[in-house]
Amino acid sequence: MTGTLHGAVAVVTGAGRGLGREIALALSAAGAHVVLASRTQAQLDEVVAEIAARGAEALAVATDVTDESAVDELIRAGVDRFGRLDIVVNNSGIVDTSPLLEQSAAAWDRVISTNLRGTYLVTRAAGRHLTAQGSGKVINIASNFALMGVANHAAYSASKAAVIAFTKAMAVEWARHGVQVNAIAPGYFETDLNAAMRADDDMFSRVTRAIPARRMGTPAELGPWLLLLAGPASDFMTGEVIVIDGGQSVP
Q: What is the DSSP code string of 230-241?
A: HSGGGTT--S-E
The bridge status of strand 58-62 relative to strand 33-38 is: parallel
The bridge status of strand 58-62 relative to strand 87-90 is: unpaired
C-alpha dihedral, 158 to 172 to 24 to 119, nearest 10°: -40
Is position 120 annotated as part of the catalytic site? no
Question: Which amino acid, 226?
Answer: L
| Angle at CA of residue 196, ends 38 and 225, nearest 5° | 55
Start-to-end CA span in the chain (Å) = 33
Catalytic residue chosen out of the listed positions 120, 145, 156, 166: 156
Residues 230 and 172 sit within 8 Å (Cβ to Cβ): no
d(CA 185, CA 168): 13
Cα separation values, 181 from 70, 168, 238, 251, Å = 23, 7, 5, 26
Point out the residues that are catalytic.
Answer: 156
